[in-house]
Amino acid sequence: MISSPGNPAIKTLKKLKHRKYRRRMKQFLVDDADVFLEAVKAGHRPEHVYACANLPFLEEFYPAEVKESLLAPISDMASFSGFIAIFSSIEPEREREDERVVVLDGVQDPANVGAILRCAVQFGVTAAWLDDDCADPFSLRALRAAKGGTFNLTPMRFSKQELELKLNAPDRTVYAADTRGGEALNLITPELPFALIMGSEGSGISEVLREQADIRITIPGTGAIESLNVAVAAGIILYHFNSKTEEKH
């Protein structure tokens, strides 16, 4: 049993809580059973598994036993699941062409990033392009919010300049979600291939990406509140897009 806070494994787990180390070490943590099983189902094998409880779904991965008082604080779950696993980072094919893409522009809450990825998978999106200001989709909170969606599409990070170039492709229709002034969502029939830009929680879509939009979209409502949560808005728009494209085919 690992019982010392100075153990190298514990030090590594603590480092991987931070984005800069996840990038440097090309690894990420999983502390949720559903996320773990989705990762394995998608073909990813954990490099290391550490547990303080007997969990049957981990048996084939021979988890190392760790004292709970050392392992639980590394997870930020309100009720610790009893294990943490280390996976190698997913290296996507950055030049691949996807018909349906969601673009996250400065979405900084990891729970929102994860929830958007979850909705994206549900409604047929196969790639997510994130700018450098977005929260890391491979943080523990984002992975839990995505409920495995992270492993069923391709999340890729780009600079604003790179995104500008990718969105400027002549054969892709670019839609941008806006709180007001855009075309009503219910009147939109999306064209494939498309990219849907969702902006930050506070300031919305940046000007550099707004300029790439062919069509701005607004979700009609009562106007009783200023705006919807970005993940809720993404879910509504992507549901509509998926419904309309299914009708056409």
Domains assigned to the chain:
8-88 (3.30.1330.30), 100-248 (3.40.1280.10)
26: left (phi over 0), alpha (psi -120 to 50) or beta: left
- Buried b / exposed e over 115-127, threshold 16 CB at 10 Å, is bbbbbbbebebeb
Question: What are phi and psi for residue 115, nearest 5 degrees?
Answer: -65, -35
> Hunting for tokens 């701005």 — which residue is that?
216
Give the C-alpha separation, 135 to 145, whole Å.
12
The model carries a pTM of 0.92
Tell me the mean pLDDT in the region 51-69. Answer: 95
Sign of CA dihedral 148, 152, 157, 161: negative
Per-residue pLDDT tens over the stretch 3-29: 998 999 999 999 999 999 999 999 999
pLDDT of 249 over the 70 cut:
no
Sign of CA dihedral 121, 123, 125, 126: positive
| High-pLDDT (> 70) share of the chain, % | 96
Tell me the mean pLDDT in the region 120-138. Answer: 95
Tell me the mean pLDDT in the region 44-50. Answer: 96
Q: Using pLDDT thresholds of 50, 70 and 90, give the confidence band for residue 88.
A: very high
Per-residue pLDDT tens over the stretch 161-210: 999 999 988 889 999 999 888 899 999 999 999 999 999 878 889 999 99
Q: Using pLDDT thresholds of 50, 70 and 90, give the confidence band for residue 225.
A: low
CB 198 within 8 A of CB 104: yes
Give the C-alpha separation, 151 to 139, whole Å.
13
pLDDT for 94: 67
pLDDT of 66 over the 70 cut:
yes
Tell me the mean pLDDT in the region 141-156. Answer: 93
Q: Using pLDDT thresholds of 50, 70 and 90, give the confidence band for residue 222.
A: low
pLDDT for 108: 93
